[in-house]
Structure 1
Amino acid sequence: MILAALAGVPALVYGVAALTLSGQVPPGTSVGGVHLGGLSPAGARARLEKAFEQRASRPLAIRADDTTITMTPAELGLAFDARATVALAMDGATTPAGVARSLFGTRALAPHVAVDGTRMAGRLSGLARRVDTKPRQGSVLYRGTEPQTVVPRPGRALDRAGAARAIRAAYLSGSEPIVVPLRPVAPAVSADQVRRTAATVARTAVAAPLTLTAGPKRAVLSRSRLAAHLRWLPDGKGGLRPVFDSADLAADLQNQLIAAGRRPKDASFAIVKGRPQVIAGRPGAGIDPGALGEAVSAALAGGSRTAEVPVTRTQPRLTTQAAGTLGVRERVGSFTTRHPCCAPRVTNIHRIADIVDGHLVEPGETFSLNGVVGRRDRARGFVEAPMILNGRFVDDVGGGVSQFATTMFNAVFFGGFEDVQHTPHQFYISRYPAGRESTVSYPEPDFRWRNDSPYGVLITTSYTGTSITVEFWSTKRFDIDAESSPRYNVKSFPTTTDSGPDCIPMTGVEGFAIDVWRTFEKDGKVVRKQRFHTVYDPEPRLTCT
């Protein structure tokens, strides 16, 4: 009986203690330094909510290397869960181990943090976009025909899982900024592999010309032309592979490898009885730039100096159907300027008009006169004629084509299209409308305008011995009126003399400023007005002695 009584003492003590501790937070329990022992669950929650109120809602500074952002816990999907924290503190309180800990020890717990994983992931994705850097992949390109290496460099990426853990752990601790981890991202190819490629196969690839074949036809890519379009890029297996970009070469090579009668023909336009008509195009045998690039790349990878180019049935760049939907149906802008007969500059005006005649400007496209015509040279029929350079007239091949630029500028003006770049002459030239003219040279200044309409614009040109005309054909959008101010800030011209075989006399013209307004009208209402401000320098009166 004595032994039985002694054995029942621990059970009695446990039972009394468990009964006493039930329904309250065990003594010696704290959460983040906040003591909760002996409190009811409701009291403990209230104390925690008050203690963590400010810490739980304050913005958090998060730093990834040299980038720091600040976000609220709500934006990060973080919230302090007092109910779950109290439940954790009371869990197991009435077990023998829990009773013993309450009687003889203490318990320090971390506050329970609720995390909205979707919201956290979204915010970390935004941070990653700011701090992630892709590795610079190693490659080999060419300077002339000499291989040049691009040494690879590692990148970095936000460790999103590690960042989420770091933010959650530091949320209620008060320590800031919260430093989140980054991990290195290795490039696909090592620097040693890039150097080996440059010294071996990249050098061999351009050591001799490459012959392209398409049936009986042949075309040769010179070493320099080959190198200009060739790169060695990562192949996904730790090495480099040749990649030939043939986008700029396909049209020229197609003309060499396929007879003219077999090639596709673009749809075009003709003016018949004062109205544009579509001239049907046709498909034909063509060379796909992608297939051409792959054929050349495969030949170089295999060490061959010959590549068979696939020929496919190809649609024209402008199909008959597409041409019919462009809205090229009426004349929307036209202008004519006049000039004396028979001077060398007239040859240049006619030559540039022939090059531009029939050019189609698609919706949204910017037309560049220099881009379409290119450098004026004798090989294409241009001759020497006077032009203005550094305030004097000088002879140059292609001189005088500014008359064409001025004529086109006025067609743009009255057609209602967007002026992108025009440069008035330094001196006023009486055959042009003051304030509505443009000079041009190569490569600058250029004359550029944008087809800001939803329709195509067909350019046609015509000329006589004493005039040049530019016409635009499209769908009319506006009625255009021009209004000019009187000339103001008028300046008299100086008088000077010069000598030498290159001296070209100048008549002398006053300088002045002028404003021109372009008024856009639609259905009889003014839509908008545009001002063009032009200042002309005085042209000196130069006598050649």
Structure 2
Amino acid sequence: MIIGGIIAVTLAAGTFYVFRGDIPYGTTVLGADLGGLSRTEAADTIRTRLAADARTTAAVDIQVEGRGATLRPADIGLAVDVDATVAGAAAGSPKLFGERVVAPVVTVDAERLDTALTEAVGTVGTPMKAPAITFTGLTPKAVHPEAGRGLDPRRTADTVKAGWLSGGPVIVPLVETHAATTAAEVDQLVKTVAEPAVAAPLTIRSGAGTVTVPPAAIAKSLVLTADKTGLITPRIDAGKLRTAIAGRLAKVETAATDAKFTFSAGKPKIVEGKDGKGLDLAALAPSLLTAAQSGDSRTIDATLTTAAPALGAAELEKLGVQEKVSTFTTKFPGGLSSPRSQNIVTAAKHVRGALVLPGKTFSLNKFTGERGYAQGYKDAPVIVGGHLTPGVGGGVSQFTTTLFNATYYAGLKDVEHKPHSYYFDRYPSVIESTIFWPDLDFKFKNDSPHGVLIDTAWTSSTITVSVWSTKVWDEVTTEWSKRRDITSPSTVTKPAGPSCISTSGLNGFTQDAWRLFHKDGKVEKREKFTWKYDPEPRFVCGAP
């Protein structure tokens, strides 16, 4: 009886011992004894152990098909979930003798891991052939999926979580990959979606009239391709649909008009934009898809929505287009009746009012497009292969030089320009620019915090370009070096004819020009330009 009593007391004491605290005695995590601790104490103990464990911050060596990837835990969201680990430790049964080892709960961002691993090891295995339904005209064609062999994000994540803290490389296996949409389901989509969709037109009915969507437009905008899991989710692509029926939409829609700058009495003036009315095809897309699969009603009722201008007067006001920052003028001969002069004025008319937003780059070629006969340009002398010869758009280089200098003296960033091969005294040496579609361009970047508005003006003998904005620099000036390495022209006799343009010849030379940016009475920075001019031959039109 005495012995039995001793055993009972011992068992009672042992029971009290193993149940003290939140964590049962005998429980360890990462080698740390958590028995008898509260949840807070256990969490603090685990965090201390993790902070001292180099494995938790060291790059993880992951192997795939013999290819290695070294990824940092922080880059893929690989970590120990301390709270979940403590919960698991607290949920177990106590051990009076020995220990109960609880594995830490590891988490990882499966998507980030998959992306990083794929970038590191490249293509492995065999890609899965994704299912799709394509159209040849109005005939749908089923593309059946084929299984592949590759990385499965979920399997990869589980493998990395399990092997992370083992101390060795983690071997990630490849698995057979299957498309979420099966071949039978592709065939079913052909019958239930693709074929009915192009069987007849759709009609969009609005207060401004109706728009007929022909089957060909439906085929172009119906998307039946799979996502990266191989799942086909039928949808109408609103952008493709708008392109396919653009002409029909124009009969019921009114385009919004952006606010813009005009010039009045030689100064910029803001003209408010106007709202437009349009069909929200993105919002209509689900209804259009439903109607396209219907054999009965294929008419959708729609309400025209208000389309606000992309750029309003308030936005233009904030751009700080308030003063003439720079202006530059060059002279041209021949009067306005000359084809060359007419080309200069045509380019000036096109560019007048161009607005360049902060951070944007202006390209003269992109802004005007091709400068050909259809755009109103005429034949005038151009330099091709070192020879002056008639060419469409000749003279636009003078406008380009004038524009270049206006932006140059406005202090804007030069992105691309090329001086002429020969020097012409109607231009400032070095700081001038030619242009030729499409190979030679002139570009500048608006690197100021304000908008840049370009104004142009002309007389019978001059072209002027002005830049309106808010001044960043007090003044921009130029200093030139002396001309050096001067070379004399040779004489070249060319066959007489309409393609021969005689010249008196010009010396060649090399020269530097420094752009000086002035602020608060001192030069804040200097920018050097250097150019070598070839000697222009003295061309004589006569016998060969």
TM-score, normalised to structure 1, is 0.68
523 and 165 in structure 1: CA distance in 2 versus 1, 3 angstrom threshold: closer
**Partners of 1:138 and 1:191 within 8 A in 2:** yes
> 1:271 matched to which residue of 2?
263
Residue 540 of structure 2: aligned partner: 543
Aligned equivalent of 1:159? 155
Task: Determine the C-alpha separation between the residues in 2 that align with 1:183 and 1:423.
Answer: 57
What's the CA shift for 1:264? 3.5
Amino acid at match of 1:383: K
Amino acid at match of 2:364: L
Contact 1:292–1:310 at 8 Å: present in 2 too?
no
Match in the other structure for 1:29 = none
Distance 1:61 1:380, change over 3 A: closer
Cα deviation for residue 178 of structure 1 reads 2.7
Question: CA 1:376–1:518 in structure 2 vs 1: closer, same or farther (change >3 Å)?
Answer: same
Alignment of 1:183-198 (within 5 A): 186-187=178-179, 189=181
1:268–1:281 Cα contact (<8 Å) kept? yes
> Aligned residue for 2:338?
343
1:277 Cα deviation after fit: 2.6
Total equivalences in the alignment: 481
Structure 1 residue aligned with 2:478: 482
Q: Which moved more, 1:62-71 or 1:527-536?
A: 62-71
Superposition map of 1:54-73 within 5 A? 62-65=61-64, 66-69=67-70
In structure 1, the partner of 2:277 is 285
Secondary structure of 1:257 counterpart = coil
Letter in 1 for 2:423: Y
Structure with the greater alpha carbon radius of gyration: 1
Aligned partners of 1:203 and 1:394: how far apart in 2? Answer: 60
**Percent of aligned pairs with the same amino acid:** 34
SS in 2 for 1:385: strand
Q: Deviations over 1:291-314 (max 9, x none)?
A: 698898788777999998863222
Distance 1:205 1:112, change over 3 A: closer
* Alpha-carbon distance, 1:406 to partner: 1.2
Match of 1:427 in 2: 422
CA shift for structure 1 position 60: 7.2
Q: Distance in 2 between matches of 1:435 and 1:383?
A: 27
SS in 1 for 2:114: helix
Distance 1:437 1:143 in 2: 54
Change (3 A) 1:408 1:302: farther
Are residues 1:453 and 2:444 paired?
no
Tell me: CA distance 1:403–1:231, structure 2 relative to 1, closer, same or farther (3 Å): farther
Equivalent residue letter for 2:272 = A
Deviations 1:27-70 (A, max 9, x none): xxxxxxxxxxxxxxxxxxxxxxxxxxxxx757675224123217
Question: Aligned to 1:433, what secondary structure does the other structure show?
Answer: coil
TM-superposed CA distance for 1:200, in Å, is 12
Q: Deviations over 1:60-115 (max 9, x none)?
A: 75224123217699x96599xxxxxxxx9x9565xxxxxxxxxxxxx9x99876x3
Name the counterpart of 2:490: 494
Measure the CA separation in 1 of the matches of 2:310 and 2:214: 27
Structure 1 spans left out of the alignment, 5+ residues = 1-10, 15-55, 80-87, 94-106
* 1:191 CA displacement: 7.8
CA distance 1:497–1:411, shift in 2 (3 Å): same
Q: Tell me the distance in 2 between the aligned counterparts of 1:451 and 1:143.
A: 47
Deviating more after overlay: 332-341 vs 132-141:
132-141
- Which stretch shows the higher mean deviation, 56-65 or 278-287? 56-65
User: In structure 2, what is the equivalent of residue 8 of structure 1?
Assistant: none
Question: Cα offset for 1:410?
Answer: 0.8
Structure 2 gaps of 5+ residues are 8-52, 83-91, 120-126
C-alpha change, 1:70 and 1:211, in structure 2 (3 Å) is closer
- Name the Cα RMSD after superposition: 5.6
C-alpha distance in structure 1 between counterparts of 2:138 and 2:385, whole Å: 39
Please say which of residues 153-162 and 320-329 is displaced more in the overlay: 153-162
| 2:517 pairs with 1:520 | yes
Letter in 2 for 1:420: V
Q: How has the CA–CA distance of structure 1 residues 278 and 289 changed in structure 2, closer, same or farther, with 3 Å as cutoff?
A: farther
Match of 2:36 in 1: none
Specify the alignment match of 1:361 in structure 2: 356
Residue matched to 2:114: 128
Offset of residue 507 of structure 1: 3.5
Residue 407 (structure 1) aligned with residue 393 (structure 2): no
Q: Which amino acid aligns with 1:232?
A: V
**TM-score, normalised via structure 2 length:** 0.68
Aligned AA (2:396)? V
Offset of residue 492 of structure 1: 2.9
Which residue number in structure 1 is paired with residue 225 of structure 2?
234
2:315 corresponds to which residue? 322
